[in-house]
Amino acid sequence: MSVISFLEWLAATSWSIALHESRYMYLIVLTAHVLTLSVFVGTALIVDLRLLGVTMRHVAASEVMTRLLPWTSGGFIMMVVSGSLMFYANPLDRYDNLFFRAKMGLLVLAGINVWIFFRTAHRNIPDWDLDTVPPGMARLVGGTAILLWAAIIAAGRMIPYQQYWFN
Amino acid sequence: MSLLEIFYWLEYTPLLIEMRASPWLFPVIATIHLFGLVIIGGSVLVVNLRLLGLGLSQQPAARLARNTEPLLVVGIVIMLVTGFLLFLCFATKYYYLAPFWVKITSLVTVLIFTFTVHRRVTRDEERTTATGRIVALTSLSLWISVALGGRLIGFP
């Protein structure tokens, strides 16, 4: 089964059509997606800025992470659920959309960036936990994360404007 | 000059007519507006979660507020500048939209609340208190109402 035929099948399911045609449901999902952004990226931003040594400099990096990352994760789950529902409402349009593809690619990079952090700088966190400015690797990951989130937000916001950019 | 006439004048200034001719300028400004949402979201959440006894609950609220205040101010400035530009693009349409006025009212209220009551309570908060919780819930509700109003403005 090719990707396209799978997406065609998905688009033809009654729930996908219902969501696509709904007067309010789709807009409610979209609103949840946008508002949860402030929880998900908002808390991630504080953690990343701590890794850069910009904010919360006198709070242990591990404390910032253990106390805020559960909120980041909760926000992320909400983002994935609402985002998947929006994809489910328009699978073929989304698949064709270059901004959507860019966003998915950037999300993978953001995931790899977090994975790198836990494989490197986080392993010896006791050594730099109380440093006001964390070591280079932690700063690199924090800075990269902020740039990736900004690009992901921009790509997501542009999804409905594809035809204006590429005509 | 009535408010509607002022909005009309703003929307049809040559600069704004020029701006609307560009199909991508509006979403680009809207994107920067979202960056502001995230910055405000992070700084507001850290302090309010602490007032609710959540998040960085071992830290004094005053320290968290001091740490995040520059961020909050940056977020507010980004929001006001980009928000004003977005408003200018469709000022007369917004004049007739209830969510727009809900947003503006909540915004003014939350800004005053943040730099008066909220700041005072945060400064004195040693442990989690009922006052702190009420202030945090008030602040969060007002900010949510600002964001929700903003999202509803854009709906068909």
Residue ranges of A 15-44 with Cβ closer than 8 A to chain B: 27, 30-31, 34-35, 37-39, 41-44
Q: By three-state DSSP, how is residue B140 classified?
A: helix
Mean pLDDT over B85-107 rounds to 93
| Rounded-to-10 torsion of CA B145, B82, A52, B59 | -30
Lowest mean pLDDT among A32-46, B59-73, B113-127: B113-127
Q: How far is CA B91 from CA A161, B49, B84, B119, B125, in A?
A: 21, 36, 10, 33, 41
> With bands split at pLDDT 50, 70 and 90, how would you rate the model's confidence at B23?
confident
Q: For residues B38 and A150, is the Cβ–Cβ distance under 8 A? A: no
Q: What pTM value is reported for the model?
A: 0.93
Within an 8 Å CB–CB cutoff, is residue A84 touching chain B? no
Mean pLDDT over B147-151 rounds to 94
What is the ipTM for the molecules in this complex? 0.93
Q: Do A59 and B42 touch (CB under 8 A)?
A: no
A57 pLDDT higher than 70: yes
| B64/B124 Cα distance (integer angstroms) | 12
Angle at A113 between CA A111 and CA A115, to 5 degrees: 70
